[in-house]
Amino acid sequence: MRRTGFTLMEVMIAMFIAAIMLALGYSAINQAAKDRTSLETSQARITEIQRGMRVVAQDFAQMIARTARDTEGGGNIQAAVIATNKDDTLITFSRAGWSNPAGVQRPAEQRVRYRFIDGSLVREHWLSLDSALNAEPRQRIVLTKIKEVQLRFLDPVSRNWRDDWPASTPNGPVDPSNIDLLLRTRPLAIELTVVFDDWGRIQRLFEIPS
């Protein structure tokens, strides 16, 4: 009886084909894994930006005309909204609606400050609106990988955009007759422009409640 089987050449060809298919399969799996990692990274970045913008939107939506005491011991009253456009502090303001799910004994109003530090948008807040002398704020990084941040404010009187706030600065002492104009006036809207390293320029316009 004649025996049949594979020749050495046939076996080598089959092994060669199997090796090619294995290499192609590994390459496809490796590329799929890289694509998945890249997709997860992009999704995480999108989520960070969306969450950060939502935090800013919630803060600006709760902005109130509430002055605050300074924390440097000068005895001065700070305006409800301050933006000097001179240092890493972008804006300082008072807001209401501070949620308190744990029922902690504290006010619902909050003093908030946004700063641009080392390529990040940092949110700071004090536990008390009229904080004690030299009280340190709590920090939270809202957005990262930023090249530039700019704020503009829509003046309710002139209807013009400006880079600083308040629109009117006191030349003399503040008293009950001028405190509303000098320290409690809020802009009609705030324009936020953020230039990211990876996502480019994003611009948002926030209407400020009257």
Whole-number Å distance between alpha carbons of 189 and 193: 13
One digit per residue, pLDDT tens: the chain, 210 residues? 555 666 767 667 777 777 777 777 767 677 766 767 777 888 899 999 999 999 999 999 999 998 888 766 566 788 889 999 888 999 999 999 776 665 555 567 889 999 999 999 999 998 877 776 667 889 999 999 999 999 999 999 899 999 999 877 655 555 455 565 667 889 999 999 999 998 899 999 999 987
pTM of the full structure = 0.76
Are the beta carbons of 208 and 189 closer than 8 angstroms? yes
Q: How many residues does the chain have?
A: 210
Q: CB-based contacts of 184: which residues, under 8 Å, 6+ apart?
A: 65, 66, 67, 79, 80
| pLDDT the model gives residue 67 | 85
Q: What are phi and psi of 52, to 5 degrees?
A: -65, -45
* DSSP H or E segment with residue 152: strand 146-154
SS3 of 110, please?
A: strand
- Closest by CA to 185, choosing from 110, 79, 92, is 79
First to last CA, the chain: 102
CA diameter of the chain: 119
- Ordered structural domains, the chain, with CATH: 55-207 (3.10.610.10)
